[in-house]
């Protein structure tokens, strides 16, 4: 499956219970950062459990274009021979980041303080997403950008030859923007300070420290103040990538809504900046347990067990939890449809600038499946019908968005009539084994002739 290839229409229908172990792939956020920070170290970084999804492979190719050597050894094992902070070479070709906002934004940050020029592009989804949120802070370092109207890709970044460190308050909750600024700060002299009002995923901070950068974090009345000392020599690392909680969300939620299910999802990364969905599900009354909690590779990890829960209730999801579950709202809205009462999701406008406008995509598809929704710019409300009560029987548009496609396919496993998606191709960006894994649990998932 590829987000660049022909459309792959798919259908999920109600079958038996989902049972067994679901070994989901490596964390996408950590995989991107492993390749980028490996490329910014001098020597060999070895990575196991890397997500071999299209998004991460595109980042690997980009790192090669900037001069690093990136070698796959099979089975998620990779090595990166890095060129060091400030060592990026000028790419000879346009950098195609495919579908990946994380890839392009982090790489722009990583190259913006080197005296090189690079041009970035992506697929129709990525080329429609705002890049001004990254190029504005990068301009403070001295980088210039030339893109399409509205700060859209394709875009050329001219890196700063003489970068200056910055102090920047990130205006929206975005780990991508925070990370782009920190990666740019690596090659600026002195201290770069990034302030975020709401804590977003902190993998960049954890990993920068792991690679030997000097980085301090202070919790203040204004939020988290992150101070990075520039121009460190990063030391290559051995990285074990934990399994992705955002991918685990699909078999976990499918297990909760498909009658009779009992699914175990082992070794899931439970970094508190990523775990909001699981807390929310427990508040809704999900039969979800954390087993064998442990620390692996510096990240908290547990085995998640999800059993069919026929009495989940809608809740108000606290807006301050949004950053810790931002990618999980599409699948949460499916669980909400299979619960009783109203689930209210506020403070979620960032969903409108993801791989698709995720509020709009889920709202239209859920309506087509017989679910009542309400929305405004920053709010999404789902009126739940209860377990086994969603009619289904629609084809939903996935809008080049992997999480939209997977969410509707999970709904199809529990709805009264089958649910189809017009294109399951984008699933390969983050969860290339989704079909096999869900099929292995007992799901009835088919590819349809176009």
By annotation, the residues acting in catalysis are 327
The span from the CA of 90 to the CA of 3, in Å, is 27
Say if residue 50 is preceded by a cis peptide, omega within 30 of 0. Answer: no
Cβ 406 to ligand S3P shortest distance, Å:
13
Q: Which of 186, 254, 326, 397 binds ligand S3P (CB under 6 A)?
A: 326
Judged by CB, which is closer to ligand S3P: 102, or 247? Answer: 102
How many residues contact ligand S3P, by CB under 6 A?
11
Q: Is 333 in the site for ligand S3P (CB under 6 A)?
A: no
Taking the least distance from each CB to ligand S3P, the nearer of 16 and 298 is: 298
> Of residues 13, 14, 81, 201, which one binds ligand S3P by CB under 6 A?
201
Interface residue with ligand S3P, options 52, 196, 205, 327 (CB under 6 A): 327
Residue 196 near ligand S3P by CB under 6 A: no
**Both tokens assigned to 120:** 């970035």
CB of 194 vs ligand S3P, minimal distance in Å:
13
Among 350, 375, 378, 448, the residue binding ligand S3P under the rule CB under 6 A is 350
Question: 99 vs 420, which CB is nearer to ligand S3P?
Answer: 99
Please give the Cα distance from 129 to 302 (Å, whole number).
34
Q: Which is nearer to ligand S3P, 17 or 279 (CB)?
A: 279
Instruction: Quote the distance between the C-alpha of residue 39 and its chain's center.
Output: 21
| Binding mask of the shown chain, residues 8 to 47, with x at each position contacting ligand S3P by CB under 6 A | ---------------------x------------------
54 binds ligand S3P (CB under 6 A): no
In the complex, minimum distance from the CB of residue 250 to ligand S3P, in angstroms, rounded to a whole number = 14
Q: Which pair of structure tokens corresponds to residue 143?
A: 């980088």
Query: Residues 174, 237, 261, 324: which binds ligand S3P (CB under 6 A)?
Result: 174
CB of 297 to ligand S3P, least distance (A): 17
What's the rounded Cα separation, in Å, for the pair 281 and 315?
9
Minimum CB separation from ligand S3P for residue 332, in Å?
A: 14
Name the one range near ligand S3P by CB under 6 A: 38-46, 171-179, 233-241, 408-416.
171-179
Smallest distance, ligand S3P to C-beta of residue 102, A: 4
Give whichever of 327 and 422 is closer to ligand S3P, judged by the CB atom. 327
156 contacts 147 by C-beta, under 8 angstroms: yes
Residue 183 interacts with ligand S3P (CB under 6 A)? Answer: no
C-beta closer to ligand S3P: residue 31 or 192: 31
CB of 276 to ligand S3P, least distance (A): 12
- Token pair listed for 123: 């697929």
145, 179, 247, 309: residue in contact with ligand S3P (rule CB under 6 A): 179
176 counts as binding ligand S3P under rule CB under 6 A: yes
Phi and psi for 170 in degrees, rounded to 5? -70, 120
> What is the per-residue burial (b if ≥16 Cβ within 10 Å, else e) of 410-432?
bbbbbbbebbbbbbbbbbbbbbb
Residues of this chain that interact with ligand S3P (CB under 6 A) are: 29, 102, 174-176, 179, 201, 326-327, 350, 354
């Amino acid at each position: 499956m590829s987000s660049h290839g022909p459309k792959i229409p798919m259908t999920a229908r109600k079958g038996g219970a989902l049972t067994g172990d679901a070994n989901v792939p490596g964390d996408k956020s950590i995989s991107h950062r492993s390749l980028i920070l490996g490329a910014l170290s001098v020597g060999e970084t070895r990575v196991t459990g890397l997500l071999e999804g299209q998004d991460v492979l595109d980042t690997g190719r980009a790192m090669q274009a900037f001069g690093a050597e990136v070698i796959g050894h099979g089975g998620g094992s990779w090595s990166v021979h890095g060129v060091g902070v400030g060592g990026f070479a000028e790419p000879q070709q346009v950098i195609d980041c495919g579908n990946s906002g994380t890839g392009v934004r982090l790489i722009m940050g990583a190259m913006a303080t080197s005296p090189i020029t690079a041009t970035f592009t992506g697929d129709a989804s990525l080329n429609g997403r705002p890049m001004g949120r990254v190029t504005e802070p990068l301009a403070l370092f001295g980088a210039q950008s030339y893109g399409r109207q509205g700060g859209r890709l394709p875009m050329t970044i001219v890196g700063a030859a003489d970068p200056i460190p910055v102090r920047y308050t990130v205006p929206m909750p975005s780990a991508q923007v925070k990370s782009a600024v920190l990666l740019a700060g690596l090659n600026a002299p002195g201290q770069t300070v990034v302030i975020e009002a709401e804590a977003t995923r902190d993998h960049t901070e954890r990993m920068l420290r792991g690679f030997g950068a000097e980085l301090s974090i202070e919790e203040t009345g204004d939020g988290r103040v992150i101070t990075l000392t520039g121009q460190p020599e990063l030391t290559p690392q051995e990285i074990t990538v934990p399994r992705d909680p955002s991918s685990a969300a699909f078999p976990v939620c499918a297990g909760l809504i498909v009658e009779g299910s009992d699914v175990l999802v082992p070794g899931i990364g439970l970094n508190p900046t990523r775990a909001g969905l699981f807390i929310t599900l427990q508040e809704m009354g999900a039969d979800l347990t954390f087993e064998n909690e442990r620390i692996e590779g510096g990240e908290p990890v547990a085995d998640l067990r999800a059993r069919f829960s026929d009495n989940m209730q809608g809740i108000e999801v606290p807006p301050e939890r949004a950053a810790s579950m931002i990618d999980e709202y599409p699948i949460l809205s499916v669980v909400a449809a299979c619960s009783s009462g109203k689930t209210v999701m506020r403070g979620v406008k960032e969903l409108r600038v993801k791989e698709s406008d995720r509020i709009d995509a889920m709202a239209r598809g859920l309506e087509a499946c017989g679910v009542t929704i309400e929305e405004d710019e920053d709010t999404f409300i789902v009126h739940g019908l209860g377990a086994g009560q969603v009619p289904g029987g629609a084809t939903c548009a996935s809008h080049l968005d992997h999480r939209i496609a997977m969410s509707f396919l999970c709904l199809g496993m529990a709805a009264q009539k089958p649910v189809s998606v017009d294109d399951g191709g984008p699933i390969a960006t983050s969860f290339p084994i989704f079909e096999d894994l869900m099929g292995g649990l007992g799901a009835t998932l088919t590819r349809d002739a176009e």
